[in-house]
Chain A
Amino acid sequence: MTDFSVIGKPIAMIDAAGKTTGAGKYTDDLSVPGMLVGRILHSPYPHARIKRIDTSRAEKLEGVVAVAIGKDAPNTYGILPVGHDEHALALDKVRYVGDNVACVAAVDEATADRALELIDVEYEVLPAYFDPEESMKAETDLIHDNKPHNLEKDYHHVFGDPDKGFAEADCVAEARFVAGEVTHAAMEPHSTLASFEIDSQTGKPGRLIVWSSTQVPYYLQHKLSLVLDVPMAQIRVIKPLVGGGFGGKSEVIPLEIIAAIAARKARAPVKITYTREEVFWAHRGRPRTLIDLKTGVKRDGSITAVKARVMQDGGAYCSYGVVTILYSGALLGALYDIPNIQYDGYRVLTNKPACGAMRGHGTVNVRFAFESQLDELAARINLDPAEIRRRNLLKAPCVTVNGLRVQSYGLPECIEKTIERSGWRDRKGKLGKGRGLGIACSHYVSGAANSIIRSDMPHSTVNIKIDRDGGVVVYTGASEIGQGSDTMTAQIAAETLGCSLGRIRIVAADTDLTPIDIGSYSSRVTFMAGNATLRAAVEVKKQIASAAARKMGCTADDLVFRDDLVVRKKLAGESHAATLVSAAVPSEASVSERVEGQILRGSLQQKRKDEGPKDSMSFEEAVVAAIDFHGTLTGTGSYAPPAEARGGKHKGGGVGPSPAYSYSAQVAEVSVDEGTGEVTVHKVWAAHDCGRALNPVSVEGQIIGSVWMGMGQALTEEMVWKDGMLMNPGLLEYRSPSSVESPEVEPIIVESIDPEGPFGAKECSEGSLAATIPAIANAIFDAVGVRMHESPFTPERVLAALRAKKNAKPINLTDGVDPTNPARFREHGGSLWFKGKGPERHALDPSRLAAPLEAGGDD
């Protein structure tokens, strides 16, 4: 194994102390002089035309400075170039309950709240669409006029010869799966502070400065420019600490633009922080998905063909939708060797908040279906579920039938390790009544090989500056959102330069200071920003080496950089023994030593000056020598994925390709209470191939966090809708698991060193999520023999499935939908539903005006 001094070591994140002391600043913690509070008026209707807005009463309220509406910034935007369908504030139409109508900037929150009640809006309520299958039948009152049948986008891909594949199969399974809608629910509600600087030359408002809870500062700068008609150079976006994203902050969220519009109109800084309910309305989470899946296998377990029809309930705007529906199809490939694939994907618009990217973007729900069906096929051909997965491994390096290049492939080891640690061979099927084990696999991209904005620009660029003080400053646009981006950057810089971590300062995610990085999404940061950091550091190191070599009278190739020393190679082994001792000293003890060291080095420096060329130099000496020699010491590195990794040429072929894929295999142990249908997850063993683990504590944290979030989607989390009303827009009713029901997760790191990853590293933050849901579903099957085809596996659904299996006295626990065979979307989406004609609608609703009240049943 390669011997590193910083890489591969479990270290605390470099910003940990700010988080554990409360000193770290998130956007809502910031204030600037004269700052106003912004609050947004939201639509109470799912689909309506705005006939008139009168803000005069609100404007007259004492303490109100400005009221902004749609025509203050009428340009459209959207995260995808093909999906510019949003207005920051509605111009003519609102498209979901919660859509943004107006914004009040006032001296405090209470005043702004009162002013919202004084804005008079006259709506013409339109028929609305809530079910994607119904929505696709629409001929009139379209959600967007340019989207016939409310179809955002559909794709139809055929790779290989699926019909021939199915003909060759000995066993074919076909079923419908439904996955409920889930959301990121990051602990920090979105927040944006926008402020205009006064231009010294014109004396008028000049540059816009925006602090925002974003995963994508560069895209935010771009969209602000678009909507506000301000050149990008006149906008500075700064990302303070971000309290979790998971995709929910990976595109431009309405408040980010609204705050700037309000600040412009109020001529004062404006901060908007969403309420938790507003976070749910902004949403952009994982869409409710309907998957019709057909898989064929031979008797030996090898997959002959897969056919998937996927429909996503995308909400009222495009968001990342086109990418989501493509990921769902593209990542059917690159996990197993599947020779024939047919994919039909439909992204449908409905009158609900837009869905977008969420951890495991696009892959999760299809993976739930696929891994469940594979389990079923294994049972039918009497093959162990772990074995059927082993029989379909890729022979990497390879290119899949749909054009995905796979270079490093740790899946076989992941499977081996999970079945070994979980005791699969001895325990599977032998855990007694109501308890079982399930296995499933998943994978994910290490960043998209093609950026969403088509261009040849690098996806990440990093600058490094070293000065005479010996401090190393790394400027990166990469966005730390809690995943460890800044720490990863510091580790790679320190390892490459052979200096201590304490020397590294990270300046990140500030568009004035840091070069462009397209953001923290699709698990791209370690691979891409990491590679850019590595390249920048290598460039600087070369400059230091050439100067140091001159001083030492050797060639640059003779030098080794390690532990704050630059040493000639023949001596490196010797000095290494000494540095190992010093490396073992914990960092908090090193402060006083550093002072001593400086004095020591100072005298050493003098001594060396006197004595001429040496066999080693301190890092600081070498840096000073390099600056003396080169004038300045800076380096730049950038990363763009290689052309070979960018995928096939078919329509939509740009989504799915990645320079490298992570792999995951998991075993879940669950028990099911057959009297109540309650499922308890006892433990999950999760092996994840992350290439090289740069920081094992962080990698394990990401694996555990992914598995845990997958468990939430599997068991407790679901956005529940009724006629466009989100029934659970809060953390009390949207049930993110608490510590009590969260299982032990045993993370197992598998390191298939990737040839192109920085130090061989790949993705570790998303790929594990998708395997958890089917692992739990398969464990439920092992425990009680019911195959759940609808997530989440709420107790009522599991009990309904158990009752159906036993032919017990039927009670209608789930609105007549069999969770093992969900033929349709439930009108109510999930755990909540209504019999008969459903709830009363608003008094102004046309459907209520048209149909006189009938006496409804009361049960």
Chain B
Amino acid sequence: MSLPQFNLLRPRILEDALSLLAKHAGESPASTRVVAGGTDLIPSMRQKLFEPEYVVDVHHLAGLKEIRQTARGVEIGALASLTAIEQSALLRRRYPVLSEAAATVASPLLRNMGTIGGNICLDTRCLWYNQSPTWRKGCGFCIKKDGDLCHVAPGGTTCWAAFSGDTPPALLCLEAEVEIASASGTRRIPLSELYTGDGVAYRKLRPDELLTRVFLPESSADYRGVYRKLRVRGSIDYPLAGVAVVMKGSDGHIADARLAITAVNPAPLLVKGVSELLTGKAMDESLAAAAGDLAAKIARPLTTSALTPEYRREMIRVFAKRAVLAAAEN
């Protein structure tokens, strides 16, 4: 399958990239796409899910690949590869949940290519959407692209395509912030505010904006962390459900804990009430089970991927329980 035709713009510095985006994104919202690692956009362009007039290749922008310690925590350039995140000694020591989550993304080859920024911005996925044009024509298209029907929630008017990134739940647990740059300036928002919960307009990122950096606060450092991913194969697969947990303990009691889920909703979600549930208590089976129930309660998987929604929700429950137990044991 050939790619649609487009103009390729290859800026070498951030300022140029932003001014190119400002120039072309104004023409129409769908007219530009940003490509970094390409692992999400290129297969999607093959399926004609995107047919932009301009593609801005940001992969070689200077200064956005570093992972470095700052006074306020750790700063990660959006172009750092997932392999770099996985192997970073600094992250493994201080923010292990992120390295663990990064290590489960797709396959080693795709991690060599894919970036942390790309994993955060990953398009939502659905079996009725991630298909060729001929295939999609066969089902009359869908609400996310070219059509007005939803095939997973018949009669529904919103899109339930699942956000399927592995690192965002870990980042949510770490209370990460992201820097978003445009020609008119930069803003910094908590990652949790990037996602909308809608399957189509799944992220709050204007076409002229670029996600440039990720910040992990010092206050989240040195938490024990666990990421559990449901997949059919041990490699390659996107998550069918995912749970990230961070935890801090003192004297056999939990001092703080956070839990986030992915791949079962149109956005990765921090599970509310987990800290309140666990803090100050000693870990045991029933406490862990209660955390699992909390997580399962907000999971709303639909038939967007392999394995039944009921099973995927149940695995959020089981994985959350196990992850909490494992984090407490670490």
Q: Which one of A735, A833, A858 contacts B233 once the chains associate, using CB atoms below 8 Å?
A: A735
Please tell me if A854 contacts chain B, counting CB pairs below 8 Å.
yes
Interface pair A833/B308, CB less than 8 Å apart: yes
Evaluate whether A732 and B135 lie within 8 angstroms (CB atoms) in the complex, with A675-B322, A813-B310 already known: no
Interface pair A728/B311, CB less than 8 Å apart: no
Task: Please report which residues of chain B, range 199-254, place their CB below 8 angstroms from some CB of chain A when the two chains form the complex.
Answer: 230, 232-238
Please tell me if B189 contacts chain A, counting CB pairs below 8 Å.
no
Interface pair A113/B138, CB less than 8 Å apart: no
Interface pair A832/B232, CB less than 8 Å apart: no
Please tell me if B132 contacts chain A, counting CB pairs below 8 Å.
yes
Interface pair A842/B2, CB less than 8 Å apart: no
Q: Which of B73-81, B144-152, B190-198 contacts A (4 or more CB under 8 A)?
A: B144-152
Q: How far is the CA of A74 from the CA of B104 in the complex (A)?
A: 52
Please tell me if B42 contacts chain A, counting CB pairs below 8 Å.
no
Interface pair B234/A839, CB less than 8 Å apart: no
Evaluate whether A839 and B139 lie within 8 angstroms (CB atoms) in the complex, with A113-B2, A856-B156 already known: yes
Please tell me if A97 contacts chain B, counting CB pairs below 8 Å.
yes
Q: In the complex, which residues of chain B have a beta carbon less than 8 angstroms from the beta carbon of A839?
A: 128, 139, 151-152, 154
Evaluate whether A854 and B233 lie within 8 angstroms (CB atoms) in the complex, with A832-B306, A834-B303 already known: no
Evaluate whether A841 and B139 lie within 8 angstroms (CB atoms) in the complex, with A815-B308, A833-B308, A859-B309 already known: yes
Please tell me if B1 contacts chain A, counting CB pairs below 8 Å.
yes
Q: How far is the CA of A725 from the CA of B138 in the complex (A)?
A: 8
Q: How far is the CA of A148 from the CA of B172 in the complex (A)?
A: 60
Task: Please report which residues of chain A, range 723-744, place their CB below 8 angstroms from some CB of chain B when the two chains form the complex.
Answer: 725, 727-729, 732-733, 735, 737-741
Binary interface encoding of chain B residues 76-107 relative to chain A, with 1 for a CB under 8 A from any of its CBs, else 0: 00000000000000000000000000000001
Q: Shortest CB–CB separation between residue A302 and chain B, in angstroms? A: 40
Evaluate whether A740 and B310 lie within 8 angstroms (CB atoms) in the complex, with A839-B152, A842-B138 already known: no
Interface pair B154/A840, CB less than 8 Å apart: yes
Please tell me if B153 contacts chain A, counting CB pairs below 8 Å.
yes
Interface pair B307/A795, CB less than 8 Å apart: yes
In the complex, the chain B residue whose C-beta lies closest to that of A111 is B2
Task: Please report which residues of chain A, range 83-114, place their CB below 8 angstroms from some CB of chain B when the two chains form the complex.
Answer: 97-98, 108-110, 113
Q: In the complex, which residues of chain B have a beta carbon less than 8 angstroms from the beta carbon of A600?
A: none
Interface pair B306/A858, CB less than 8 Å apart: no
Interface pair A741/B2, CB less than 8 Å apart: no
In the complex, the chain B residue whose C-beta lies closest to that of A715 is B232
Q: In the complex, which residues of chain B have a beta carbon less than 8 angstroms from the beta carbon of A844?
A: 140
Q: In the complex, which residues of chain A have a beta carbon less than 8 angstroms from the beta carbon of B128?
A: 839
Q: In the complex, which residues of chain B have a beta carbon less than 8 angstroms from the beta carbon of A591?
A: none
Please tell me if B297 contacts chain A, counting CB pairs below 8 Å.
no
Give the number of chain A interface residues (Cβ < 8 Å): 57
Evaluate whether A836 and B314 lie within 8 angstroms (CB atoms) in the complex, with A109-B2, A275-B132, A738-B235 already known: no
Interface centre among B1, B128, B139, B300 (most CB of A within 10 A): B139
Task: Classify the interface of chain A: helix, strand, loop or mixed.
Answer: loop
Interface pair A110/B310, CB less than 8 Å apart: no
Q: In the complex, which residues of chain B have a beta carbon less than 8 angstroms from the beta carbon of A853?
A: 155
Please tell me if B302 contacts chain A, counting CB pairs below 8 Å.
yes
Interface pair A842/B311, CB less than 8 Å apart: no
Q: How far is the CA of A737 from the CA of B234 in the complex (A)?
A: 8
Binary interface encoding of chain A residues 833-859 relative to chain B, with 1 for a CB under 8 A from any of its CBs, else 0: 110111111111100000001111111
Q: Shortest CB–CB separation between residue B29 and chain A, in angstroms? A: 23
Q: In the complex, which residues of chain A have a beta carbon less than 8 angstroms from the beta carbon of B282?
A: none
Q: In the complex, which residues of chain A have a beta carbon less than 8 angstroms from the beta carbon of B131?
A: 729
Please tell me if B260 contacts chain A, counting CB pairs below 8 Å.
no
Evaluate whether A856 and B233 lie within 8 angstroms (CB atoms) in the complex, with A110-B5, A728-B127, A813-B311 already known: no
Q: In the complex, which residues of chain B have a beta carbon less than 8 angstroms from the beta carbon of A487?
A: none
Task: Please report which residues of chain B, range 267-323, place their CB below 8 angstroms from some CB of chain A when the two chains form the complex.
Answer: 300, 302-303, 306-311, 314-315, 318-319, 322
Please tell me if A200 contacts chain B, counting CB pairs below 8 Å.
no
Interface centre among A42, A732, A858 (most CB of B within 10 A): A858
Q: Shortest CB–CB separation between residue A808 and chain B, in angstroms? A: 11
Evaluate whether A841 and B140 lie within 8 angstroms (CB atoms) in the complex, with A275-B1, A831-B306, A833-B303 already known: yes
Evaluate whether A44 and B138 lie within 8 angstroms (CB atoms) in the complex, with A728-B127, A794-B232 already known: yes
Q: In the complex, which residues of chain B have a beta carbon less than 8 angstroms from the beta carbon of A737?
A: 233
In the complex, the chain B residue whose C-beta lies closest to that of A740 is B234
Interface pair B318/A676, CB less than 8 Å apart: yes
Q: Shortest CB–CB separation between residue A102 and chain B, in angstroms? A: 12
Evaluate whether A832 and B127 lie within 8 angstroms (CB atoms) in the complex, with A44-B137, A741-B233, A841-B139 already known: yes
Q: In the complex, which residues of chain B have a beta carbon less than 8 angstroms from the beta carbon of A796?
A: 307-308, 310-311
Please tell me if A177 contacts chain B, counting CB pairs below 8 Å.
no
Q: How far is the CA of A814 from the CA of B311 in the complex (A)?
A: 8
Interface pair B308/A735, CB less than 8 Å apart: no
Q: In the complex, which residues of chain B have a beta carbon less than 8 angstroms from the beta carbon of A740?
A: 233-235
Please tell me if A799 contacts chain B, counting CB pairs below 8 Å.
yes
Interface pair A727/B127, CB less than 8 Å apart: yes
Q: Shortest CB–CB separation between residue A240 and chain B, in angstroms? A: 23
Interface pair A729/B232, CB less than 8 Å apart: no
Q: How far is the CA of A812 from the CA of B154 in the complex (A)?
A: 20
Interface pair A859/B302, CB less than 8 Å apart: yes
Binary interface encoding of chain A residues 654-677 relative to chain B, with 1 for a CB under 8 A from any of its CBs, else 0: 000000000000000000000110
Q: How far is the CA of A834 from the CA of B155 in the complex (A)?
A: 13
Binary interface encoding of chain A residues 57-101 relative to chain B, with 1 for a CB under 8 A from any of its CBs, else 0: 000000000000000000000000000000000000000011000
Q: How far is the CA of A675 from the CA of B326 in the complex (A)?
A: 15
Q: Which one of B1, B139, B318 contacts A675 once the chains associate, using CB atoms below 8 Å?
A: B318
Please tell me if A811 contacts chain B, counting CB pairs below 8 Å.
yes
Please tell me if A560 contacts chain B, counting CB pairs below 8 Å.
no
Please tell me if A277 contacts chain B, counting CB pairs below 8 Å.
yes
Task: Please report which residues of chain A, range 693-718, place their CB below 8 angstroms from some CB of chain B when the two chains form the complex.
Answer: 716
Please tell me if B7 contacts chain A, counting CB pairs below 8 Å.
no
Please tell me if B184 contacts chain A, counting CB pairs below 8 Å.
no
Please tell me if A336 contacts chain B, counting CB pairs below 8 Å.
no
Please tell me if A129 contacts chain B, counting CB pairs below 8 Å.
no
Q: In the complex, which residues of chain A have a beta carbon less than 8 angstroms from the beta carbon of B127?
A: 727-728, 733, 832
Please tell me if B28 contacts chain A, counting CB pairs below 8 Å.
no
Q: In the complex, which residues of chain B have a beta carbon less than 8 angstroms from the beta carbon of A799?
A: 311, 314
Interface pair B134/A840, CB less than 8 Å apart: no
Binary interface encoding of chain A residues 810-839 relative to chain B, with 1 for a CB under 8 A from any of its CBs, else 0: 011111000000000000000111101111
Q: Which one of A716, A738, A837, A838 contacts B107 once the chains associate, using CB atoms below 8 Å?
A: A738
Q: How far is the CA of A716 from the CA of B306 in the complex (A)?
A: 11
Q: In the complex, which residues of chain B have a beta carbon less than 8 angstroms from the beta carbon of A840?
A: 139-140, 149-151, 154
Q: How far is the CA of A488 from the CA of B209 in the complex (A)?
A: 61
Q: Shortest CB–CB separation between residue A2 and chain B, in angstroms? A: 44
In the complex, the chain A residue whose C-beta lies closest to that of B306 is A831
Interface pair A858/B232, CB less than 8 Å apart: no
Interface pair B233/A716, CB less than 8 Å apart: yes
30 A–B pairs (Cβ distance < 8 Å), ordered by A: A45-B138, A110-B2, A113-B1, A113-B2, A277-B134, A277-B135, A716-B233, A725-B135, A725-B138, A732-B238, A733-B127, A735-B306, A738-B107, A738-B233, A741-B234, A741-B235, A795-B311, A796-B310, A799-B311, A811-B314, A813-B311, A832-B127, A834-B154, A839-B139, A840-B150, A843-B140, A845-B140, A853-B155, A858-B153, A858-B155
Given contacts A720-B306, A795-B232, 7 further A-B contacts (CB under 8 A): A733-B127, A737-B233, A740-B234, A796-B308, A811-B314, A840-B149, A853-B155
Q: Which residues of A contact B (CB under 8 A)?
A: 42, 44-45, 97-98, 108-110, 113, 275, 277, 675-676, 716, 720, 725, 727-729, 732-733, 735, 737-741, 794-796, 799, 811-815, 831-834, 836-845, 853-859
Chain A to chain B: the 9 pairs with minimum beta-carbon distance, closest first: A740-B234, A856-B154, A839-B151, A842-B140, A796-B311, A44-B138, A856-B155, A738-B235, A840-B149
